[in-house]
């Protein structure tokens, strides 16, 4: 039986609170107001009719309790949130989440890649409607336009990150990327990719020979990168206090980066940790000369400063200068990161263990190093065989 309570509303007019219950904990309340001019008998009759109707609706499921209404609204909002297009999810969820763990340059690269290659093709589809076939079609079309294998892998990785995140937060019920294969290197790319990652010893000797006629700052910069394998921005952020001439090592503590939005800014090395890297005597000799030259011209806390200023060298300056040297001396594909690859490759090919190379490069773990330098050449293959034969021969003796 419904309960009825007479009250006065905020305007002082009579109203009635009607509460119905089904005896199993489900209760609903409604406010009922009589029409002006009704007699007491009419009010009682219509009020009882309203209370009976409320009880019947509650019993038949036609009316919901406050708790049920809140839960239904919550589920509706949850379902509505799932009805996101890839554009909405990528821009509203994926990129903000990635921003917490990636550098500003990394996020900018992701955004540009999404805007240029992914959103124009899949952006207006609902996440739940995108199929493995549609994703495969995008990747195959991308490869067909002549993009490199590494760029195709980046496309795959971004897509994989988006759909994995959406699956884990229940925005989609199935992850279509589980049925999408990682792009493979095209046959015509295999040899070219192997040749472009690093310079040979002969090519490196030629580069060092060309440097003898260049500015001391650039001689030192390039020699340092070859010797240590540090990143472009890590070299730009190196300070004199980071150079230990006596013990022959440098401490990599910072990484200079640049974006149009933020300008030049300092961050930690890519893996978030400082590291110590040994330096050869030839490099130390150039560093000493550079420090003496800098003391005469413009004292700076930075090893590589701007000409006539104590400010650090712009992190994009090395790339521009390397292009000039490429044209001047005919050095193929000359850029700072290729010198880093060369330093690591030469170490691996000459028997240095992967753990040591990984620490020297500042990789987050050895798996990164293995993915980049797991390739072998004839020289390393022959050395591997000879090491086994030498070991067996020593055992026999």
DSSP conformation letters of 25-83: S-EEEEEE-PPTT--HHHHHHHHHHHHHHHHHHHHHTSS--HHHHHHHHHHHHHHHHH-
Evaluated on CA atoms 265, 267, 269, 275, the torsion sign reads positive
Mean pLDDT (the chain, rounded): 85
Reported as a single tens digit per residue, the pLDDT across 141-182 is: 998 888 888 889 999 999 999 999 999 998 899 999 999 999
Provide the residue ranges of all domains of the chain, joining segments of one domain with +. 3-76, 86-194, 201-341
Check for a shared fold between 86-194 and 201-341: no
Q: Coil, strand, or helix at residue 219?
A: helix
| Predicted pLDDT of residue 82 | 62
Reported as a single tens digit per residue, the pLDDT across 192-241 is: 444 457 888 899 899 999 988 899 999 999 999 999 989 999 999 999 99
Residue 186 has pLDDT above 70, yes or no: no
What is the token pair recorded at 325?
């040297």
CB 156 within 8 A of CB 139: yes
Phi/psi at 324 (5° precision): -65, -45
From the number of C-beta atoms within 10 Å of its C-beta (0-12, 13-18, 19+), residue 79 rates as exposed
CB 130 within 8 A of CB 176: yes
- The closest of 363, 382, 385, 366 to 374, measured between CA atoms, is 366
Whether the predicted model's global pTM rises above the 0.85 cut: no
CB 252 within 8 A of CB 275: yes
* Averaged pLDDT, 79-93: 82
The third-level CATH classification (topology) of the domain covering 86-194 is DNA polymerase; domain 1 (1.10.150)
Select from 1.10.10.10, 2.60.40.10, 1.10.443.10, 3.40.50.300 the CATH code of 201-341.
1.10.443.10
128-142, 174-188, 322-336: which has the minimum mean pLDDT? 174-188
């Amino acid at each position: 039986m419904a309960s009825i309570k007479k009250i006065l509303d905020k305007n002082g007019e009579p109203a009635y609170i009607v509460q119905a219950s089904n005896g199993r904990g489900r209760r609903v309340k409604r406010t009922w107001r009589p029409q002006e001019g009704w007699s007491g008998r009419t009010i009682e009759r219509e009020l009882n009719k309203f209370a009976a109707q409320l009880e019947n609706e509650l019993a038949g499921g036609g009316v919901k309790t406050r708790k049920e209404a809140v839960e239904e609204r919550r589920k509706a909002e949850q379902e509505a949130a799932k009805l996101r297009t890839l554009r909405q999810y990528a821009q509203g969820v994926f990129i903000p989440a990635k921003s917490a763990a990636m550098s500003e340059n990394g996020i900018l690269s992701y955004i540009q890649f999404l805007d240029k290659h992914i959103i124009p093709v899949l952006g207006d589809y609902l996440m739940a409607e995108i199929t493995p076939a549609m994703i495969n079609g995008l990747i195959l079309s991308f490869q067909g336009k002549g993009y490199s294998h590494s760029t195709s892998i980046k496309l795959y990785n971004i897509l994989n990150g988006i759909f994995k995140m959406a699956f884990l937060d229940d925005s989609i019920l199935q992850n279509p990327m589980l049925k999408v294969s990682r792009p493979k290197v095209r046959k015509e790319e295999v040899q070219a990719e192997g040749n472009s990652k690093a310079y040979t010893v002969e090519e490196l000797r030629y580069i060092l020979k060309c440097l003898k006629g260049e500015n001391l700052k650039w001689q030192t910069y390039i020699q340092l990168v070859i010797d240590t394998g540090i990143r472009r921005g890590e070299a730009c952020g190196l300070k004199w206090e980071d150079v230990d001439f006596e013990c022959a090592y440098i401490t990599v503590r910072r990484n200079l980066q640049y974006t149009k939005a933020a300008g030049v800014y300092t961050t930690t090395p890519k893996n978030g940790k400082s590291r110590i890297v040994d330096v050869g005597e030839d490099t130390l000799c150039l560093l000493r000369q550079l420090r003496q030259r800098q003391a005469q011209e413009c004292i700076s806390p930075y090893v590589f400063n701007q000409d006539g200023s104590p400010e650090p060298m712009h992190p994009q300056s090395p790339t521009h200068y390397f292009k000039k040297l490429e044209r001047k001396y005919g050095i193929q594909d000359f850029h700072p990161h290729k010198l880093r690859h060369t330093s690591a490759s030469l170490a691996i090919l000459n028997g240095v263990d992967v753990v040591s190379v990984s620490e020297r490069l500042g990789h987050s773990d050895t798996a990164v190093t293995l993915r980049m330098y797991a390739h072998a050449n004839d020289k390393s293959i022959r050395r591997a065989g000879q090491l086994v034969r030498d070991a067996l021969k020593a055992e026999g003796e």
